[in-house]
């Protein structure tokens, strides 16, 4: 199976759970390569958002506090860093700030921008995986470099009691 097909299967697996909701840009309407990986996710589980990454993480935290498991999708990792405040100072520290009362679980799905078929510019292909690992002490940050890791890592993210950032490599989608 190809990398992209395994991502599609992982999204199907997540969608089977009654408390999951998919939130982000191009989740209901095409616009990015990640849209096509949601083709089998029911539309009623998708919440389309405009470009406001910081609010997206805030909404994801709110949904998690209300009992949902948001799959918060950022088409490019470069866009996720716009939400660094909510990610690093709120989602990552919520349990600590609330003295254990609140522990929101969010699965953040992002990708390192593809350089094919056209180079989109240096501001769209950056890999901030290591920086996120340094900043987030309570969120697991997993880079999906091998297609064999896709299903197991999304399964772990679904089952663990903490938030996870999964970083995909769209340049591998056809491999």
Q: Set out the domains of the chain in order of their start, with CATH numbers.
A: 3-161 (3.40.50.970)
pLDDT of residue 115: 85
Residue 45 makes CB contacts below 8 A (sequence gap 6+) with 15, 20, 21, 22
Q: Which neighbouring-strand residues pair with 142? A: 166
Residues shown for the chain = 175
φ, ψ of residue 45 to 5 degrees: the values are -100, 0
Q: Could you give the 3-state DSSP secondary structure of residue 25?
A: coil
pLDDT in tens, 91-144: 999 999 999 999 999 999 999 998 888 888 888 899 999 999 999 999 999 999
pLDDT in tens, 10-51: 999 999 999 999 999 999 999 888 999 999 999 999 999 999
d(CA 46, CA 23): 6
pLDDT in tens, 146-172: 999 999 999 999 999 999 999 999 999
């Amino acid at each position: 199976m190809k990398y992209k097909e395994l991502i599609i299967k992982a999204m199907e697996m997540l969608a089977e759970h009654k408390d999951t909701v998919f939130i982000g840009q191009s989740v209901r309407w095409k616009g990015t390569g990640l849209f096509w990986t949601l083709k089998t996710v029911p539309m009623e589980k998708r919440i389309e958002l405009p470009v406001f990454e910081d609010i997206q993480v805030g909404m994801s935290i709110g949904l998690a506090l209300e009992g949902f498991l948001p799959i918060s999708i950022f088409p490019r990792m470069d866009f996720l860093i716009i939400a660094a405040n909510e990610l690093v100072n709120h989602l990552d520290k919520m349990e600590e700030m609330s003295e254990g009362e609140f522990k929101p679980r969010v699965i953040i799905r992002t990708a390192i921008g593809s350089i094919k078929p056209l180079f989109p510019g240096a501001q769209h292909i950056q890999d901030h995986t290591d920086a996120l690992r340094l900043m987030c002490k309570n969120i697991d940050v997993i880079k999906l470099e091998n297609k064999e890791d896709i299903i197991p890592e999304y399964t772990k993210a679904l089952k663990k009691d903490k938030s996870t950032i999964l970083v995909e490599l769209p340049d591998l989608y056809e491999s």
